[in-house]
Amino acid sequence: MAALHGCGSDDSSSSSNTASNNPPATTPTPAPDAATASANIQAAWVEIGDGNQALARVVTRYTAEAGAGANAQCPLLTVDGKAARMTLRVGPATAPLRTTASAAADSKPSEFPVSVCEATLPAGAASAAIGAQVLPLPKATPQRIVVLADTGCRLKKADNAWQACSDTEAWPLASLAATAAGFNPDLVLHIGDYHYRENACPPDIAGCQGSPWGYGWDTWQADLFKPAAPLLAKAPWVVVRGNHEECARAGQGWARFLDTRPYDATRSCDDPANDAIANYADPYAVSLGGGSQVIVFDSAKAGKAALATNDPQFIAYQKQFQTVATLAAKTGMTTTIFTNHHPILGFAPVAGANPAPGNLALQSVMSNLNAQAYYPTGIQLALHGHVHDFQAINFASAHPATIVSGNGGDNLDVALPDPLPAGSVPAPGTTIDRITHHASFGFLVMDRHASPATGWQFKAYTKAGKLLATCDQTGNTLTCDKTGFLTP
């Protein structure tokens, strides 16, 4: 104010108390932007794509006037004080019923009465917000990463599996996500299987009454965006695709909401004729800075059986693993973490029997490329979900340490036998040194070792935040403070 008064040429003719007699003109408040109103925004998050692009995404119920242009559905994104309208990724639609993993009588068209909007955040942005909702920004060298997987509530007729979605003990994602957010991660890694509400809850099952089902927005909102909101608000996510997000299951939602690539009808999973394209994706690396990187691999459609070399699926995964080898060969890396949904050198427990090995489809492709090394040179650690437990495996053979973190909310698997039966191996040619495991709901917190050390420390927590095990990774060695089965 002093500067303004000083500039005035007619101060002498004014009263000495100018401010009280002549209130300074105020800039008119712009009309609130309806597309940015918080009531319309159903979800907002940031995910990291190829080349470390920070992709801001929004799900909105706002519908602009006819003729206003596609992007008029989208809110304003304010980055470092400058507001710009986000770009429409895909508008509302109801996809015609396609073949699904369920019988036609237990399926329905996927309704998406929402628009998905997006914008790429500029590198080095210091702040980003949609209205009053502040978005988390990526850090060049994240120090702490939360890892979780297999988080949805299982409603599946074929298995007669009806998880009690409204019981926060039986399906704990909301409390687990809130606990994990309390660790203040710089980044979140979700290793797949976000959506589990596939079929209608039967009338005689109390725990899931009223749950949405099928593959539309309502199920994605209930299974992921609502319960995980505190964790989506806390840090950008790296998103890995699970088998529940293959095209015949929740692939349509994957393509609309989470796939880091531009939305494309061929990859939308709407038309089964394109599934051979839409069920696969090129791997990409996310730099974690300081000599660490994560390679993200889409194994959504990997089946259980070994593949013949002339199988189109073999050829697709072979191409993907060739790209992995190129990414893993990047110079200057001390810790390359491979992540995909299905455990490759991990176990799947079987009630009353010896545990099953890792995924045979992926192993068949990997052994064809790299013999019994399986992984290409340069990978120190593998992170997976899919099996609903926690496993931390250190090999006596020269294989990447392997961690499974699939205990994020869906029904848990039975515990692995303890001790493991003699000779148990996840793949021919591997030798287990030590395994640490538990079968309780929880998540992992990864903390970067202080320089000049390399690698990461992994802490396995229960959903309530109780520490169960601490494992230190350096190179392909993983050393845990406990071994065998852990009870919470």
Q: What residue ranges bind Fe ion (CB under 5 A)?
A: 193, 242-243, 386
462-467, Cβ contacts within 8 angstroms, sequence gap of 24 or more = 462/488, 463/172, 463/175, 463/176, 463/179, 464/175, 464/179, 465/179, 465/182, 465/183
State in angstroms the smallest separation of the CB of 244 from Fe ion: 6
Q: How far, in Å, CA of 44 to CA of 234, rounded? A: 11
State in angstroms the smallest separation of the CB of 249 from Fe ion: 10
With respect to Fe ion, which residue has the nearer C-beta, 130 or 269?
A: 269
State in angstroms the smallest separation of the CB of 224 from Fe ion: 14
Report residue 317 as tokens.
């995964």
State in angstroms the smallest separation of the CB of 113 from Fe ion: 28
With respect to Fe ion, which residue has the nearer C-beta, 246 or 259?
A: 246
State in angstroms the smallest separation of the CB of 203 from Fe ion: 28
State in angstroms the smallest separation of the CB of 463 from Fe ion: 19
- Per the CB < 8 A criterion, the answer to whether 300 and 251 are in contact is yes
State in angstroms the smallest separation of the CB of 341 from Fe ion: 6
With respect to Fe ion, which residue has the nearer C-beta, 137 or 240?
A: 240
With respect to Fe ion, which residue has the nearer C-beta, 241 or 437?
A: 241
With respect to Fe ion, which residue has the nearer C-beta, 138 or 242?
A: 242
State in angstroms the smallest separation of the CB of 176 from Fe ion: 17
Among residues 366, 420, 410, the alpha carbon closest in space to that of 387 is found at 410
Taking the CA atoms of residue 65, residue 69, residue 72 and residue 77 in that order, the dihedral angle to the nearest 10 degrees is -170
With respect to Fe ion, which residue has the nearer C-beta, 57 or 386?
A: 386
Residue nearest to Fe ion (CB): 386
With respect to Fe ion, which residue has the nearer C-beta, 267 or 386?
A: 386
With respect to Fe ion, which residue has the nearer C-beta, 388 or 463?
A: 388
| Residue reference for tokens 């061929």 | 266
